Amino acid sequence: MIKKSVTMSDIANELGVSTVTVSKALGDKDGVGDELRERIKQKANEMGYRFNNSSKSSKDNFTYSISVVVAKHFINDASAFYWVVYRYIVELLQKQSYYGILEVITDNDEQQCEMPNSVIDKKVDGIIVLGQFNEEYVNALLRANVPTVFLDFYSGKNDVETVLADNFFGAYTITNYLIHNGHRKIGFVGTISSTSSIQDRYLGYYKSHIENHIRVNPNWIIDDRSADGICFPEFSLPAEMPTAFVCNCDETAYMLINQLKAKGYSVPGDISIVGYDNHIYSTISTPRITTIDVNSYRMSHEAVEIIIRKIRDNNYKCGRVLVTGKLIERDSVKKLQ
């Protein structure tokens, strides 16, 4: 059975107003109060009304499409964290009557500064840059002169709106958690030169050590990926092991746990492990991983709200928006006496 499309008349009947009033509200025309206009738009979204963006765009020069630009190595895995974020972005854009166009950038595209087709062809009103790119590629994107928001990374461009998890404070919090559980020998797993997020998480880990008067052992700082973001299949572990590791993400924590178990270590019996992101890896792991929930939905919501405001107002500025996460306690940490 084919589902019947929702019409303006259906919305009008639900709210007890005229079809003309619904048409004016959805078309942002005069003659409808602000409160009623929002009620009508909300009801239209609830009922699944499909806005005719093609006719709208021909009148106001907007495409009602947003390019979501992400590096290929961040989404090679079907369970990658950024697939979750992208899904949230698309859902949130749909509620605003926008489309999200995924633009996957290969390593070669990035090195050659090849712009996404949707940007070259001027088929989008804005760009959400999801995840880290090198400075040259960032500059090339910004030269397109399209409203842009950075999501989950930042660069030296202070005048670009940016939405970030509070990585510094999150890593500081989870390292303190290990220290409060008696750990003094704590390593860090993450390639510090790879992304700004990993750098900030390392600095949070480092600050916790400084405040608790604990020396960081450089032998316990372990790379988990190449500088261009390709994850290692196995990590180079030190001869003398710490009692705990802070991992820059849950996937790395999951891989480390499996590697340690293969070498005969018990987690958390011998070594405690914490992760970051509260991604799927934290719950499929044995043991389940204590981690920081970064609230990826809230980050996606902020990015969508900002890009739409920038499209509607060229002068809109909000700077950097930090989204605070929270500690999720599970089974991967042993309390030391």
Average pLDDT of the chain is: 90
Q: For residues 75 and 79, give the distance between their C-alpha atoms in angstroms, rounded to a whole number.
A: 8
For the segment 86-100, the average pLDDT, to the nearest whole number, is 92
Q: Are 223 and 237 in contact (CB under 8 A)?
A: no
For the segment 258-263, the average pLDDT, to the nearest whole number, is 97
Amino acid type, 141:
L
Lowest-confidence region among 15-29, 71-85, 118-132, 184-198: 15-29
Q: What angle do CA 244, 323, 140 make, to 5 degrees?
A: 100
Instruction: Please name each of the domains of the chain with its CATH number.
Output: 8-50 (1.10.260), 65-165+296-324 (3.40.50.2300), 167-293 (3.40.50.2300)
Q: Mapping DSSP to helix (H, G, I), strand (E, B) and coil, where does residue 221 land?
A: strand
pTM for this predicted structure: 0.75
Q: Are 269 and 261 in contact (CB under 8 A)?
A: no
Q: Is the pLDDT reported for residue 34 higher than 90?
A: no
In percent, the amount of the chain with pLDDT more than 70 equals 95
Which residues have a Cβ under 8 Å from the Cβ of 234 and sit 6 or more positions away? 255, 259
User: Which tens digits make up the pLDDT trace of 289-299?
Assistant: 999 999 999 99
Residue 327 φ/ψ, nearest 5 degrees: -75, 130
User: Which tens digits make up the pLDDT trace of 139-191?
Assistant: 999 999 999 999 998 887 678 999 999 999 999 999 999 999 999 999 999 99
For the residues of 22-88, what is the DSSP string, one character each? HHHHHTT-SSS-HHHHHHHHHHHHHHT----HHHHHHHHS---EEEEEEEGGGSSSTT-HHHHHHHH
